[in-house]
Amino acid sequence: MASKQASIGRIENVPLTEQARTAILEAILDKRFDERLPSEEALAEMLNVSRTTIRTALQSLEQEGIITRKRAIGTTINAHVRPSTLSLQRMVGFDGLLREKGYSVDVEVIWSRGTPGEDFVESFSLEPDQDSLLSEKSYFADGKLAIFVRDAMLWANLKDQKFDGEVEASIFEFSSAAWTVPVDHVVAEILPVVKRSKETTKVPVERGEAITRLLEYHYDSRGDQLAVSMVDVDTDFIHFEVFRRR
């Protein structure tokens, strides 16, 4: 089947492999292509980058199980690829995951400067007096709180130590824009949590019902920890999937 000749936007200024990878992935998830991707030459033209940059970006997507590349066939999009199978890798945001499920989504973000709370210190073995940017992100699906995220980020890692702007819902995007060292990868623990009291979680499930909790550790490319996140998910809205590949 021939690929759709869709435009996915040009990358201006100095092109980066990660920007190209993200643009191609977003186009795949938005179903702007059929079963195959255009040629390296065509993608390079669309994104205004070199073929070398495109080749490296495609190699990354192949390693992640998003695409398969074969001679004489070209680059095919793997059939399993959709936001729900990629959410734990944070290649798409939780808002995109909820929209894929058909919900109308609103996101609210508030933040403050301070030290992590007792539950954060216990869950992540943090120093109780660590100067942090603390954020709370609420993802509403059809008006109901479906996902509640709390982040603790090192204040010392902000480019602007007098920061007083907006915190983006995606910690990857925020780190790329506002941190001296961005997040490179995340390690997540998946925990079942039963609501015992209103302090257990802000997700509005009944007492005795279960939620899924992710404890996420955010690292830079050297393996130094930059931030942590506690993600509470109402399982009536989302069940996570993990893609395994030989």
What is the mean predicted confidence (pLDDT) over 93-112? 89
| Of residues 151 and 221, more confidently modeled | 151
128 and 46 within one domain: no
Q: What was the pLDDT predicted at 15?
A: 42
Whether 117 and 182 share a structural domain: yes
Q: For residue 57, what is the domain's CATH number?
A: 1.10.10.10
Task: Judge whether 86 lies within some domain.
Answer: no
Binned at pLDDT 50, 70 and 90, residue 16 comes out as: low
What pLDDT is stored for residue 13 in this prediction? 43
Question: In the 3-class helix/strand/coil scheme, how is 172-219 assigned residue by residue?
Answer: HHHHHHHECCCCCEEEEEEEEEECCCCCCCCCCCCCCCEEEEEEEEEE
Give the CA-trace dihedral at 92, 93, 94, 95, to 10 degrees. -110
Mean pLDDT of 138-156: 96
Q: What residues make up the domain containing 54? A: 17-81
**Mean pLDDT rounded to a whole number for the chain:** 85
Q: Which of 31, 48, 81 is the last residue of a domain?
A: 81
Same domain? For 77 and 106 the reply is no
Both 131 and 171 in a single domain? yes
- CATH code of 165's domain: 3.40.1410.10
Which pLDDT score is estimated for 151? Answer: 95
Instruction: Give residue 101's pLDDT.
Output: 83
Domain's final residue, options 81, 113, 132: 81
| 152 and 195 inside one domain | yes
Helices (H), the chain: 17-29, 40-47, 51-63, 83-86, 94-100, 118-124, 171-178
Domain-located, residue 156: yes
Give the per-residue pLDDT at 30: 79
Question: Which range, 59-68, 160-169, 192-201, is most confident?
Answer: 160-169
The CB-side HSE value for 86 (13 A sphere, CA atoms) comes to 23
Domain-embedded: residue 43: yes
Answer yes or no: is 87 within a domain: no
Q: How many domains does the chain have?
A: 2
Kindly tell me the burial class for residue 111, based on how many C-beta atoms sit within 10 Å of its own C-beta (0-12, 13-18, 19 or more): middle
End position of a domain, from candidates 46, 81, 116: 81
Inside any domain, residue 71: yes
Same domain, 180 and 73: no
Top pLDDT among 33 and 112 is at 112
- Whether 11 is in a domain gets the answer no
For residue range 59-79, list pLDDT tens digits in order: 988 887 888 988 878 899 887
49 and 144 inside one domain: no
Which of 184, 118, 127, 189 lies closest to 156, judged by CA?
A: 127
Q: Is residue 169 part of a domain?
A: yes
Percentage of the chain beyond pLDDT 90 is: 46
Same-domain pairing of 107 and 74: no
pLDDT of residue 82: 67
- Angle ∠(155,216,104) on CA atoms, nearest 5: 95
Ranges 82-86, 91-95, 163-167, 191-195: which has the least confidence: 82-86
Residue 70 and residue 111 share a domain: no
Do 113 and 220 lie in a common domain? yes
Q: Helices (H) and strands (E) in the chain — how many of each?
A: 7, 8
Higher-confidence residue: 200 or 12? 200
**Whether 184 and 118 share a structural domain:** yes
- As a whole-number percent, the residues of the chain with pLDDT over 70 amount to 87
As a whole number, mean pLDDT of residues 200-211 equals: 90
Under the banding of pLDDT at 50, 70 and 90, the label for residue 246 is: low
Answer yes or no: do 223 and 178 share one domain: yes
Residue 245 included in any domain: no
